[in-house]
Amino acid sequence: MTKTGFIIANLFRKKTRTSLTLLSVIMAFLLFGLLQAVNVMFNAGADFIGATRVMTQARVSFTQALPMSMLPKIEGVPGVARVAPMQWFGGVWHDTDQLIVFAVDPQRQHDAYPEWVMPESQWKAFANTRTGMVVGRLIADQYHWKIGQKIPIASNIYPQKNGSKAWAFDLVGIYDGKDENWQKATNGIFIQKDYFDEANQFGINGRTNFFAIRLADSAQAQKVCKTIDAMFENSPDETKTQTEKDFNVGFVKQIGDIGLMVRWILFAVFFTLLLVVGNTMAQSVRERVPELAVLKTLGFSDGSVLGFVLVETFTLCAIGGLLGLGLATLIGIGVQKSAGGQLPLSVDWHVWTAGAIAIVLLSLAVGLLPALRASRLKIVDALAGR
């Protein structure tokens, strides 16, 4: 019998126990995979964003709009390549779904965000259609919208001149992301700022919530931020300028202590799992003490007995772990299909890496004690059943 065969045979000597342990490991890693994905969604969501843009908002809060008269001043700052205003619209679909709708200047948006990929003809149509709207691929897929349709979108903030909050826009383009990460972020909608300014009842034209600023040189980011903020200091419209990444992180952090909560759950799950698997392993070693003594009598070294037990644990954890993570991946895909851009949950390689590390740590933590015990066994005592 080979060593591998020996380990497999050992693993299946008590089929019920092995399969039950395996099932609890699978459950634990299924949970681990899903929660880790949520964790990644909260924490590392902004990692792919480069340092090519900075965002300017009102210092007091981004809900306080800034005057458009700032735009040429900002564009004059050395190191700034292009400035794109973005005004929050408060879009609502069918009274229930909040949409991320911004009123933008089509050409400036195109220039400032080369990451959004769309045929030139559609960019042109956006610029030339006053009631035009372009949407991200995720949103278009989720609501089955097609180019050419007129889409009714309500605003929960701005009524039109006639007092109605039910707006409608012509869908003239669907944009994609330049790579996989940006594709996951195609959950936004853009409408024409000129049209919005003219048609809204409050007449808040000439104002915007943000300026997205594309830099000529990303090394200048900090300097540009400081220059812009210094320019408007002590005015009623003081600004806060930060890199796009910090801006996004700040947004996610608003959700508050949920990330912390997820970490607590992960910890509780892991602790529970450790004890369950650890106990089972300890028990199976205990039962096999006489056999291990026989192995040693036959001439197997302490080291190889230790190895047998460790490899057995590792096999159990690895099979269970991989199955659990696989299951989590499938569920993640299912969630993404049904919830679309609302919940970009994906069990990707970040999660798998963390899962792999967890498998190794877990097998060491639960396998080491029984394995050491097995290797330190005194043959005489063990055979005598002491």
Contact map string, positions 231 to 250, toward other proteins, x by CB under 8 A: ---xxxxx-x-x---x--xx
How, if at all, do strands 53-58 and 210-215 pair?
antiparallel
Of 55-63, 101-109, 117-125, 192-200: span binding other proteins (CB under 8 A): 55-63
Helix (H) or strand (E) holding 154: strand 150-155
Q: Tell me the closest approach of the beta carbon of residue 179 to other proteins, in angstroms.
A: 26
DSSP string, 208-249: ESEEEEEES-GGGHHHHHHHHHHHTTTSTT-EEEEEHHHHHH
Buried b (16+ CB within 10 A) or exposed e, 313-322: bbbbbbbbbb
Q: Return the residue of 150, 253, 337, 376 that touches other proteins, per CB under 8 A.
A: 253
Residues 277 and 316: beta-carbon distance below 8 Å: yes
Binding residues with other proteins: total (CB under 8 A): 59
| 254 sits near other proteins (criterion: CB under 8 A) | yes
| 265 sits near other proteins (criterion: CB under 8 A) | yes
Q: Tell me the closest approach of the beta carbon of residue 121 to other proteins, in angstroms.
A: 36
Q: Tell me the closest approach of the beta carbon of residue 146 to other proteins, in angstroms.
A: 27
Nearer to other proteins, 22 or 306 (CB): 22
CA distance 196 to 200: 6
| 255 sits near other proteins (criterion: CB under 8 A) | yes
Dig out the tokens for 79 from the structure. 């190191």
| 218 sits near other proteins (criterion: CB under 8 A) | no
| 79 sits near other proteins (criterion: CB under 8 A) | no
| 30 sits near other proteins (criterion: CB under 8 A) | yes
Q: How far apart are the first and last CA of the chain?
A: 29
Q: Tell me the closest approach of the beta carbon of residue 235 to other proteins, in angstroms.
A: 6
> Rounded to whole angstroms, what are the CA distances from 309 to 33, 278, 344, 372?
27, 12, 41, 9
Nearer to other proteins, 2 or 234 (CB): 234
CA distance 300 to 120: 72
Residue 361 φ/ψ, nearest 5 degrees: -60, -45
| 222 sits near other proteins (criterion: CB under 8 A) | no
Contact map string, positions 142 to 171, toward other proteins, x by CB under 8 A: ------------x-xx-x---x-x------
CA distance 287 to 199: 80
Q: Tell me the closest approach of the beta carbon of residue 126 to other proteins, in angstroms.
A: 26
In Å, how far from its chain's centre is CA 117? 21
Report the interface residues with other proteins, using CB under 8 A. Answer: 16-17, 20-21, 23-24, 27-28, 30-31, 34-35, 58-64, 90, 92, 154, 156-157, 159, 163, 165, 202, 234-238, 240, 242, 246, 249-250, 253-258, 260-261, 264-265, 268-269, 271-273, 275-276, 279-280, 282-283
